């Protein structure tokens, strides 16, 4: 089975721009979660989607948004980019959204904001 895929793998943007990141979960997985990873803060939860509905949201400003499509693919969008948004953005998928379901991570998108 193919793993979680994320596109693009690398992005360079300037402050004020917006960006859209894409995630395709493992086939059959219906839950997708997004995380931001920075050296200082570690891995922080952004949001979780299940069956096209946002189930949970982390403590990030409204500039961060996401959605999930009927085929379980997910996108996240960051508007009005700031320097501090430079990070590795990781998508993880799981079969369902039960507490015992394991999450499998994609390779990540490295975003650099100049």
Partner 1 sequence: QKEVEQNSGPLSVPEGAIASLNCTYSDRGSQSFFWYRQYSGKSPELIMFIYSNGDKEDGRFTAQLNKASQYVSLLIRDSQPSDSATYLCAVRGRSQGNLIFGKGTKLSVKP
**Binding region for partner 1 (CB under 8 A):** 31, 33, 35, 42-45, 48, 50, 55-56, 58, 88, 90, 92, 97, 99-100, 102-108
| Least distance (Å) between residue 27 CB and partner 1 | 17
Tokens found for residue 30: 């219906």
Residue 83: strand, helix, or coil: helix
Q: How many CA atoms lie within 13 A of 69 on its CB side?
A: 9
**Checking DSSP bridges between strand 109-113 and strand 64-68, what pairing results, if any?**
unpaired
| Least distance (Å) between residue 60 CB and partner 1 | 12
| Least distance (Å) between residue 31 CB and partner 1 | 7
């Amino acid at each position: 089975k193919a793993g979680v895929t994320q596109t693009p793998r690398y992005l360079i943007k300037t402050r004020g721009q917006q960006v859209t990141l894409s995630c395709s979960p493992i086939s059959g997985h219906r839950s997708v979660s997004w995380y931001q990873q920075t050296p200082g803060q570690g891995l922080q939860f952004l949001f979780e989607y299940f069956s096209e509905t946002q189930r949970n949201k982390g403590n990030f400003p409204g500039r961060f948004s996401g959605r999930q499509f009927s085929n379980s693919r997910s996108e996240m969008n960051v508007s009005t980019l700031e320097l501090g948004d430079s990070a590795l953005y990781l998508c993880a998928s799981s079969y369902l959204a039960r507490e015992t379901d394991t999450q499998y991570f994609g390779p990540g998108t490295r975003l650099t904001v100049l």
